[in-house]
Structure 1
Amino acid sequence: MRVAVYYPWVYLRSGIERALIEIKRRSRHEIRIYTNHFDPRGTFPELDGMGVTELSRVSVERTYSAVTAAALSIVRTRLDPAEHDAVLVCCDGLGPLLTFANRRKPVVNLCFTPLRATYDEVYRDRLLARGGPARPVKRAAETVFRLVDRMAWRNFDEVICIADTVRRRVADNRLFPESKIHLAYPGVEPRLAVPEGASEPMFLLPGRIMWTKNIELAIDGFRRFLRDAPPALQRFRLHIAGMVDAKSRPYFAQLQELAGGDERIVFETVVSDERMRALYTQAWAVLAPAFNEDFGLTPVEAMAHGRPVLACNRGGLRETVLDGVTGLLVEPEPAAFAAGLRRIAQDADLARQLGAQGPARAAAFTWPRFVQTIDAVLDGAQRRSV
């Protein structure tokens, strides 16, 4: 089967771009990737050799005017139905708008999340709190988007969600019947699910540096941990590793200010896959402070490398990290995070025990299984359309 895989903007090193690579590599179908914004220099280098087709180019800015212009362009985007047998839309916001002009073939939604600014209450509340005088404009825009988005979701033949947290978000907002939603967890290479070498006194916080990752919680918690730590634990450091895109630069500056010049808090913003694997290997534990993560791939990668995870007891992190088995789930407060850091740092046996049970847990989340589920759903959608 020829499958057109669409995602509005391919320009970052995020979980969606990683999923595009794995679908292209592993699917038994003929995959062609389409986007309205392709930046091969900003995303994973593997995508540059995968024949990504850029359609009418849209901006990646998040101003109201830029997003509105992008939405209108996506609504008008039409893929040639003669060149594909099905369409797979990668959704984290505007993707469903593509369905208005592309309903002649089966359309499947691979949902990483419906637009969080509209459908994730935690995200929405935080965004509105940051809005100040612009809040009335945001509420009006949300109302209009809900109306249009609900119509777009009616065009999907099938929906696949990447986590139960996302599935509930879709169902609670009545975008698609929960009983008809498929579940496909992203994951890791099966061969990675083995313990790695000896760890160092370093807490690793991997992934994109952006405000939804709640990195300030990790910094606050780490500084509290150091303030109360005995001399033997003062050797620990916090290593924050991930890309910073243009819209996140002000947030990155805030984090640097919050770190206060402490040499034990290190930022690394240009990180290859090889370098990230080395950091996982060196880490004493891996941190996941996001306030309401949709799924969270980095905890799975940490467990695959045999490293314990300290994560917020919220969202998709609760679906992968087993509290007291492969890591610790704590409340999203600096004092609780500091206590979690202290517990893992001062008890090497506990850290080893949690880490040792990680690979078996990570083995439940693999890219082959993820792509096999997508292929099966596409097959079913295509059969029913005949």
Structure 2
Amino acid sequence: MKVAVYYPWVYLRSGIERSIIELKRRSRHEIAIYTNHYDPEGTFPDLKEMAVTELSRVSVERSYAAVGQAALSIARTKIPDGHDVLLVCCDGLGPLLTFRNRSIPAVNLCFTPLRAAYDDAYRERLLARDGASRRPAKIAAEAAFRALDRLAWRNFASVISIADTVTRRITENRLYPASGITVAYPGIEPLAALPEAEPEPMFLIPGRIMWTKNIELAIEGFRRFHDAAPPELKRFRLHVAGMVDAKSRPYFAKLQALAEGCPAIAFETSVSDARMQALYASAWAVLAPAFNEDFGLTPLEAMAQARPVLASDRGGFRETVLDGLTGLLVEPEPAAFAEGLRKLADNPELTRRLGRAGPARAAEFTWARFVDTIDVSLDAVRQDVRQGSR
């Protein structure tokens, strides 16, 4: 079966791009990748060998005007003929593609509906960024988008959600009935061997450096921990490692200012896959402070490396991190993060125990299972189309 996989912007090293790579590698179907914005230098090098086709180009800017223009362009985009099924990778605008492509059955691989419209935690933070004067116009834009988006969601033959957190976001906003949604958790690559070296006194925040990751929470929590730490715990440091795309540079500057004056906090923004694996292996624990993550691969990657996770007790982290067994789930407040850091730093046995339980938990989330679930859903849609045409 020939499957057109579409994602509006393939330009980062995010979980969506990684999922597309694994789908292309592992699916039993013939996969063609389409996008409206492709940056081969900014995303994973693996995609260069996968013949990504860029259609009419859209901006990756996240202002309301730019997103509106991108939405119009996506709604006018036509996928080339010759495909049996269209798989739309959705984190917001992707469903609009279905308006021009109704001749082909469509499946929604939903990483999240547009968070600016459907995630209250995200939405309130976004509305507050530009002050009260622009709030009415933003709310009106959201209402217009939701009306259009709900029409687009009607074009899907089925929906695959990456987590129960995302499924709830879909159903609570009446985008699609729960009976038509299948959950397929993204996965990780199993490790051939666990780290042999003892961990260093280093807390790691891995992954993209952007405002939704709420990294300031971990920095503030670490500074509280470090300021109050007894001399024997002053050796601990915080390492933030991940890419910074153009639109996130002001946020990165804010984080640097927040860390100023604390030499125990370091940033690393050019990180290869090998370097990131080395950082995981040497970390005392991995921090996940995002305020309402859809799912999040970094906790799984940490647990696969037998490293405990300290995460916000919100969103998708609740679906992967087992509180008290593979890590600690805490309230997304600086004081709670500071206390979690103290517990881990001051109790090596607790840290080792939480870490030892991680690999077995991480092994429950595999790319093979993820892709197989998608393949089965695609087969079912294709079969329904064939039966309907008889």
TM-score by length of 1: 0.98
Distance 1:196 1:375, change over 3 A: farther
What residue number does 1:296 align with?
A: 296
RMSD: 1.0
2:378 is aligned with 1:374? no
Give the CA deviation at 1:55: 0.3
**What is the correspondence of 1:186-225 to structure 2 with a 5 Å cutoff?**
186-191=186-191, 194=194, 197-225=197-225
Give the CA deviation at 1:227: 1.0
Give the CA deviation at 1:11: 0.5
Give the CA deviation at 1:179: 2.1
Distance 1:141 1:55, change over 3 A: same
**Equivalent residues of 1:38, 1:54 under 8 A apart:** yes
Give the CA deviation at 1:139: 0.4
What residue number does 1:97 align with?
A: 96
Give the CA deviation at 1:63: 2.1
Question: Would you say how many aligned residue pairs link Structure 1 and Structure 2?
Answer: 385
Moved over 3 A (4+): 191-197
Larger deviation, residues 127-136 vs 342-351? 127-136
Give the CA deviation at 1:64: 2.5
CA distance in 1, matches of 2:85, 2:379: 9
**Equivalent residues of 1:285, 1:310 under 8 A apart:** yes
What letter matches 1:113 in structure 2?
T
What residue number does 1:233 align with?
A: 233
**Equivalent residues of 1:305, 1:358 under 8 A apart:** yes
2:131 is aligned with 1:142? no
**Equivalent residues of 1:89, 1:108 under 8 A apart:** yes
What letter matches 1:372 in structure 2?
D
What residue number does 1:167 align with?
A: 167
2:126 is aligned with 1:127? yes
Give the CA deviation at 1:248: 0.8
- SS of 1:157's equivalent in the other structure is strand
- SS of 1:374's equivalent in the other structure is helix
Give the CA deviation at 1:245: 0.8
- Could you report, residue by residue, the CA deviation over 1:21-74 in whole angstroms, capped at 9, with x for unpaired residues? 111111111001000000001111111111000001111112222212211111
CA distance in 1, matches of 2:229, 2:114: 41
Give the CA deviation at 1:135: 1.1
CA distance in 2, matches of 1:295, 1:196: 29
- SS of 1:322's equivalent in the other structure is coil
Larger deviation, residues 70-79 vs 324-333? 70-79
CA distance in 1, matches of 2:193, 2:151: 42
Give the CA deviation at 1:193: 7.8
Give the CA deviation at 1:196: 5.2
CA distance in 1, matches of 2:197, 2:168: 38
- Could you report, residue by residue, the CA deviation over 1:213-251 in whole angstroms, capped at 9, with x for unpaired residues? 110000000000011111111000100001111111111
- SS of 1:227's equivalent in the other structure is helix
What letter matches 1:151 in structure 2?
L
What residue number does 1:355 align with?
A: 355
CA distance in 1, matches of 2:230, 2:366: 40
- Could you report, residue by residue, the CA deviation over 1:132-158 in whole angstroms, capped at 9, with x for unpaired residues? 122111101101000000000000001
**What is the correspondence of 1:245-284 to structure 2 with a 5 Å cutoff?**
245-284=245-284
2:74 is aligned with 1:87? no
- SS of 1:32's equivalent in the other structure is strand
CA distance in 1, matches of 2:23, 2:281: 27
**Equivalent residues of 1:93, 1:113 under 8 A apart:** yes
Give the CA deviation at 1:189: 1.0
CA distance in 2, matches of 1:101, 1:237: 52
What letter matches 1:246 in structure 2?
A
**Equivalent residues of 1:193, 1:360 under 8 A apart:** no
What letter matches 1:89 in structure 2?
V
What letter matches 1:115 in structure 2?
L
Instruction: Provide the identity percentage.
Output: 71
**Equivalent residues of 1:7, 1:95 under 8 A apart:** yes
Distance 1:372 1:193, change over 3 A: farther
CA distance in 2, matches of 1:241, 1:191: 21
CA distance in 1, matches of 2:274, 2:193: 16
What letter matches 1:94 in structure 2?
L
CA distance in 1, matches of 2:190, 2:244: 29
What residue number does 1:106 align with?
A: 105
- SS of 1:219's equivalent in the other structure is helix
What residue number does 2:319 align with?
A: 319
CA distance in 1, matches of 2:6, 2:197: 39
2:92 is aligned with 1:71? no
**Equivalent residues of 1:96, 1:153 under 8 A apart:** yes
- SS of 1:151's equivalent in the other structure is helix
Give the CA deviation at 1:97: 0.3
What residue number does 1:333 align with?
A: 333
Distance 1:16 1:193, change over 3 A: farther
- Could you report, residue by residue, the CA deviation over 1:316-337 in whole angstroms, capped at 9, with x for unpaired residues? 0000000000000000110110
